[in-house]
C-alpha cells in the first residue's frame, strides 16, 4: 500500500520501508554521487551494487571535494552504513588508497564494509584490459573491469572472501594463473609469479580483513526495521551490459534490475527508482552518440561543465539532451522520478536543443536502434530559448528563470516521469527538491 503523503510504501505490519535506487539515465557521469550524497543524509545504508573503480563519483561538501571510485557516496555520514555490494568488483589496492585519502581528509571509514562475494581485480586484470584496449579501442578505462567480470562468469574469479582462506586462495590462484599468464604472453606481457600475488594478497588481507562481511543479514535487518536504504549505481543505462551500446558497454548492469541482483534486495522492496539526468548529454569512450556536438557548443558544454573524467581525466564528449535515450532508460528502470543535474551549465547559452526523436534514411525511428544503427541516426531537435541568467542560487522551483522552467517541463513531458530534484551547482545546497 502506498502512503502518498510521504511517498513511502507501508508494509503489512506497519513498517515503512524506503529502498531507493539511484541510477544513471544516460552514458554515466550524470552526477549520481552528488545526488546520493544529498539523499544519504536521510538514509541508514548506502550500497553500491555493481562495477568497480572504473568510474568516479564526485562529491563536494563541507569537508572538501572528493572523487570516489569504489566507496559509496554515503561515506560522509558516519551513521550511514556503506557497503560495497556483492555485485561489485574491487581492486583492493585502489580501495586501500581511497580509504587512506578519505581518512587523511578527516572522513571516518569505520562505517565501510565489503560484501564477501565481491570479486577481486588482480593486477593481471588491469594489464590485460590495457593491452586489449590498445588493440581494440572500445574506450574502456583500463581498470580491469571487463576482464574480472569475464573471469567471474567463466569461474576463474577470486572473491574477497578467498582472501580470508589462504589455502583455498593459493589453490585457486595456482589453477587460474597459468591461463592468465598465457593471455599475458599473447599481448607480449611478462607473466606473474604465484608467490608475488600471494604476498600481495597477504597485504590486502591485513588492511581489509575486518571489513569483509556477509552484507545480506545487515540489509535484511535494515529492511525489517523499516530503515532507509539507498542503492547506488555507477555509469548509466546506455552502458548496461545487456541493454546498452554493446560492445561499448560496461561488464555489469547499472540498472534497477542490476541493483536488486547486485545488492541482494528483492524487486518488490524497491520503492523509488531515481534516474539521474544531466541537463545535456556526455559520454566517455567509444560508441554511438547521436546528439554529440563537435562544434563550439560542444566545446562550450565541455568547458563550462568541466567535463573531464573523474577516474581517467579523459575529456568527455558533449551534446544536447537526448530524450529518446531518457525514455529508453525510464522504460528499462521504471523510474519513479528523475533528478536533473547541471542545469546551471546551460545558464549562459542563447538556446538549448532537446532531441525528441531520430530518423534514419529519412524514416522516423521509434525504437532504440542497435549499436551500429544508432551510429547512423539523425536527431530530431526542438530548440528552446536560453535563460541567460544564473540558476545556481535557486532553491525552489519558483526561483528558476521562466525559460529554465519551460525547458524542464518539456523534458518532463517528453520522458513522462516527474522531476523530483534539480541540481543547479555541485555543492550540497545547490539543489531544488520538488
Ligand atoms: P557521477 O559519476 O554520476 O557521480 O558523476 P561525476 O561525479 O562523474 O560527474 C558529475 C560532476 O558534475 C562532478 O564533478 C560534480 O561535482 C558535478 N556536478 C554535479 N551536479 C552538478 C550541478 O548541478 N552543477 C554543476 N555545475 N556541477 C555539478
pLDDT in tens, 111-158: 999 999 999 999 999 999 988 877 766 667 789 999 999 999 999 999
The finding on whether 129 has its CB within 6 A of some atom of ligand 1 is no
Q: How far is ligand 1, taken at its centre, from the CA of residue 407, in Å? A: 20
Q: Kindly state if the Cβ of 35 falls inside 6 Å of ligand 1.
A: no
Residue 73, pLDDT score: 86
Task: Note if the bond before 247 is cis, omega within 30 degrees.
Answer: yes
Query: How many A from CA of 181 to the centre of ligand 1?
Result: 39
Is the dihedral angle over the CA atoms 291, 295, 299, 301 positive or is it negative? negative
Flag whether pLDDT at 260 surpasses 70: yes
pLDDT digits (tens, 9 = 90+) for 45-82: 999 999 999 877 888 888 888 989 999 989 999 999 99
**Confidence check: pLDDT of 10 > 50:** no
Taking the centre of ligand 1 as the mean of its atom positions, its distance from the CA of residue 413, in whole angstroms, is 24
Is any ligand 1 atom within 6 A of the Cβ of residue 316?
A: no
Q: How many helices (H) and strands (E) does the chain have?
A: 12, 22
The closest residue, in CA terms, to atom 26 on ligand 1 is: 425
pLDDT tens readout for residues 399-408: 999 999 999 9
pLDDT above 90 for 232? yes
> How remote is the CA of residue 152 from the centroid of ligand 1, in Å?
31
**Pairwise pLDDT comparison (90 vs 311), residue with the higher score:** 90
Position 311 scores a pLDDT of 63
Contact between 382 and 323 (Cβ < 8 Å):
no
* Mutation to probe ligand 1, out of 31, 277, 282 (largest number of atoms < 8 A from CB): 31
Regarding the beta carbon of 307 and ligand 1, being less than 6 Å apart is answered no
Alpha-carbon separation of residue 116 from 111, 148, 159, 419 (angstroms):
16, 16, 7, 37
pLDDT at 110 over 60: yes
Provide the 8-state DSSP code for 26: S
189 alpha carbon to ligand 1 midpoint, in Å?
A: 37
Mutate to test the pocket of ligand 1, among 26, 54, 56, 58 (most ligand atoms within 8 A of CB): 58
Measured CA to CA, the distance from residue 47 to residue 161 in angstroms comes to 18
CA-nearest residue for atom 10, ligand 1, is 31
Atom 25 (ligand 1) nearest CA: 425
> Ligand 1 pocket check: which of 36, 70, 426 to mutate, most ligand atoms within 8 Å of Cβ?
426
Maximal CA-CA distance, the chain: 66
Mean pLDDT estimate for the chain: 92
pLDDT digits (tens, 9 = 90+) for 413-426: 999 999 999 999 99
pLDDT at 14 > cutoff 60:
no
Q: Determine if ligand 1 sits within 6 Å of the CB of residue 144.
A: no
Nearest to 217 by CA among 425, 379, 29, 45: 45
Which residues face 337 on adjacent strands? 274
Q: Which residues pair with 418 in a beta bridge?
A: none
Specify the ligand 1 atom closest to the Cα of 423.
23
Judged against a pLDDT cut of 70, whether residue 216 lies above it is answered with: yes
Average pLDDT over residues 322-351: 98
Kindly tell me the sign of the dihedral angle through the C-alpha atoms of 210, 156, 121, 36. Answer: negative
Q: Specify the higher pLDDT residue, 41 or 341.
A: 341
Q: Is the CB of 232 under 6 A from ligand 1?
A: no
Residues identified as active-site: 29, 57
Window from 17-21, 235-239, 273-277, 357-361 with minimum mean pLDDT: 17-21
Amino acid at each position: 500500500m502506498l502512503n502518498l503523503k510521504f511517498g513511502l510504501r507501508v508494509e503489512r505490519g506497519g513498517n515503512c520501508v524506503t529502498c531507493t535506487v539511484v541510477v544513471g539515465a544516460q552514458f554515466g557521469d550524470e552526477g549520481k554521487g552528488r545526488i546520493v550524497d544529498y539523499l544519504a543524509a536521510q538514509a541508514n545504508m548506502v550500497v553500491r551494487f555493481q562495477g568497480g573503480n572504473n568510474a568516479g563519483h564526485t562529491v563536494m561538501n563541507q569537508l572538501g571535494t572528493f572523487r570516489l571510485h569504489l566507496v559509496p557516496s554515503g561515506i560522509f555520514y558516519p551513521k550511514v552504513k556503506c557497503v560495497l555490494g556483492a555485485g561489485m568488483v574491487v581492486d583492493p589496492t585502489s580501495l586501500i588508497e581511497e580509504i587512506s585519502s578519505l581518512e587523511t581528509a578527516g572522513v571516518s571509514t569505520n562505517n565501510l564494509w565489503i560484501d564477501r562475494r565481491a570479486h577481486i581485480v588482480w593486477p593481471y586484470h588491469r594489464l590485460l584490459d590495457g593491452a586489449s584496449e590498445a588493440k581494440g579501442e572500445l574506450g574502456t578505462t583500463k581498470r580491469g573491469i571487463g576482464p574480472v567480470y569475464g573471469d567471474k562468469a567463466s569461474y576463474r574469479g577470486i572473491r574477497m572472501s578467498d582472501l580470508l582462506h589462504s589455502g583455498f586462495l593459493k589453490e585457486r590462484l595456482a589453477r587460474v594463473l597459468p591461463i592468465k599468464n598465457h593471455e599475458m604472453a599473447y599481448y607480449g606481457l611478462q607473466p606473474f609469479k604465484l608467490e608475488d600475488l600471494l604476498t600481495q594478497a597477504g597485504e590486502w588481507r591485513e588492511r581489509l580483513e575486518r571489513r569483509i562481511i556477509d552484507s545480506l543479514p545487515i540489509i535484511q535487518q535494515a529492511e525489517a526495521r523499516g530503515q532507509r536504504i539507498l542503492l547506488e549505481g555507477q555509469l548509466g543505462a546506455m552502458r548496461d551490459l545487456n541493454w546498452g551500446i554493446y560492445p561499448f558497454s560496461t561488464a555489469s548492469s547499472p540498472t534497477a534490475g542490476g541493483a536488486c541482483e547486485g545488492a541482494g534486495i528483492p524487486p518488490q522492496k524497491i520503492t523509488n527508482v531515481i534516474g539521474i539526468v544531466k541537463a545535456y548529454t556526455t559520454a566517455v569512450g567509444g560508441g554511438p552518440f547521436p546528439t554529440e556536438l563537435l562544434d563550439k557548443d560542444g566545446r562550450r558544454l565541455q568547458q563550462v561543465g568541466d567535463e573531464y573524467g573523474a577516474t581517467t581525466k579523459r575529456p568527455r564528449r558533449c551534446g544536447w539532451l537526448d530524450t529518446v535515450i531518457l525514455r529508453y532508460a525510464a522504460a528499462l528502470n521504471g523510474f519513479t522520478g528523475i533528478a536533473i543535474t547541471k542545469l546551471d551549465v546551460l545558464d549562459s547559452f542563447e538556446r538549448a536543443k532537446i532531441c525528441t526523436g531520430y530518423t534514419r534514411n529519412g524514416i522516423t525511428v521509434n525504437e532504440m536502434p542497435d549499436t551500429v544503427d544508432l551510429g547512423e541516426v539523425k536527431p530530431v531537435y526542438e530548440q528552446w530559448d536560453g535563460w541567460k541568467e544564473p540558476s545556481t542560487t535557486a532553491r525552489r522551483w519558483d526561483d528558476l528563470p521562466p525559460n529554465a522552467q519551460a525547458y524542464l517541463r518539456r523534458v518532463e513531458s517528453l520522458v513522462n516521469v516527474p522531476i523530483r530534484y534539480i541540481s543547479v551547482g555541485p555543492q550540497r545546497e545547490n539543489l531544488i527538491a520538488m
